[in-house]
């Protein structure tokens, strides 16, 4: 049993970026520039699936993400995932 996920910890333990007023626009952190060129060239995708994990609201700022923070014009479908074991 591993009590943490190393990749997740690397992201969540990262110091916040130097933002003047500490207001984060979640639209600014979407990694569109890292998409495959074929996906970037598609000007009107028919389905854009976004996943919102239930634990994302408990992350420290600026990495927390509330459902209201999802950019509606970028996601056509939202999958909300949660797990209780």
**Number of structural domains in the chain:** 1
Q: Is residue 1 part of a domain?
A: no
Domain boundaries, position 45: 6-81
Q: What is the pTM of this model?
A: 0.40
The pLDDT assigned to 73 comes to 74
**In residues, how long is the chain?**
85
Task: Report the C-alpha gap between 48 and 73 in whole angstroms.
Answer: 10
What sign does the CA torsion over 25, 26, 29, 31 have? negative
Q: Is residue 35 part of a domain?
A: yes
Tens of each residue's pLDDT in the chain, 85 residues: 445 555 555 555 555 556 566 555 555 555 555 555 555 555 666 777 788 887 877 877 777 777 777 777 777 888 888 766 6
Task: Report the C-alpha gap between 59 and 67 in whole angstroms.
Answer: 13
Q: Is residue 75 part of a domain?
A: yes
The torsion angles phi and psi of 49, rounded to 5 degrees, stand at -95, 125
Are the CB atoms for 70 and 43 separated by under 8 Å? no
The pLDDT assigned to 16 comes to 56
The pLDDT assigned to 1 comes to 44
């Amino acid at each position: 049993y591993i009590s943490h996920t190393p990749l997740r910890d690397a992201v969540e333990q990262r110091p916040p970026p130097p933002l003047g007023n500490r207001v984060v626009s979640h639209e600014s952190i979407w990694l569109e520039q890292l998409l495959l060129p074929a996906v970037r060239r598609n000007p009107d995708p028919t389905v854009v699936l976004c996943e919102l994990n239930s634990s994302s609201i408990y992350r420290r700022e600026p990495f927390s993400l509330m459902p209201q923070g999802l950019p509606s014009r970028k996601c056509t479908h939202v999958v909300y995932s949660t797990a209780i074991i």
